């Protein structure tokens, strides 16, 4: 039997969750959650952990040398380092508008990286 303790990040209560499972999560048992969202969080975190990624990219603008970007949905955790490495090597032309896509379908994940702000020059 495998075990793991987690803290639910779905709301400010931050319930301490305890997960036990055998094999490939067929008999996953989660305790410590005050509501069903905690069980759903633990299930997702164990089977397919993913996060919204926020970062900055270098720009050609002297006025705004760094531009904020983020993923438009959660990216699987194993892809996060590769995405950050790619973003930190980029240098983008301005202007950009909030919501413009910088990277489309990163590594066939269906996740786009979009600009979080508008920069006119
Ligand atoms: S289990 Fe429910 S109550 Fe507890 S932190 Fe998660 S969302 Fe909040």
Parent domain of 37: 2-47
Q: How many domains would you assign to the chain? A: 2
pTM metric for this prediction: 0.82
Does the Cβ of 30 fall within 6 Å of ligand 1? no
φ, ψ of residue 44 in degrees (nearest 5): -65, -40
Judgement on whether residues 109 and 62 belong to the same structural domain of the protein: yes
Ligand 1: residue of 38, 40, 44 to mutate (most ligand atoms within 8 A of CB) is 38
Percent with pLDDT over 70 in the chain: 100
CA of 60 to the centre of ligand 1 (A): 43
Residue 120 maps to a domain: no
Residue 111 maps to a domain: yes
Convert the pLDDT of each residue in 81-96 to its tens digit. Answer: 999 999 999 999 999 9
Residue pair 93/60 in contact by the 8 Å Cβ criterion = yes
With tokens 């006025």, the residue in question is: 63
Judgement on whether residues 89 and 107 belong to the same structural domain of the protein: yes
Judgement on whether residues 42 and 63 belong to the same structural domain of the protein: no
């Amino acid at each position: 039997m495998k075990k793991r303790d987690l803290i639910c990040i779905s709301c400010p209560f931050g319930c301490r969750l305890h997960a036990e499972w055998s094999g490939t999560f067929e008999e996953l048992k989660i305790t410590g959650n005050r509501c069903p969202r905690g069980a759903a969080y633990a299930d997702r975190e164990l089977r397919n952990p993913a996060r919204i990624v926020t970062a900055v990219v270098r720009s050609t603008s002297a006025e705004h040398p760094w531009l904020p970007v983020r993923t438009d949905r959660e990216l699987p955790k194993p892809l996060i380092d590769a995405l950050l490495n790619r973003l930190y090597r980029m240098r983008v032309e301005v202007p950009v508008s909030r919501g413009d896509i910088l990277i489309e379908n990163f590594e066939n994940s269906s996740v786009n990286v979009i600009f979080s702000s508008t920069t006119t020059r």
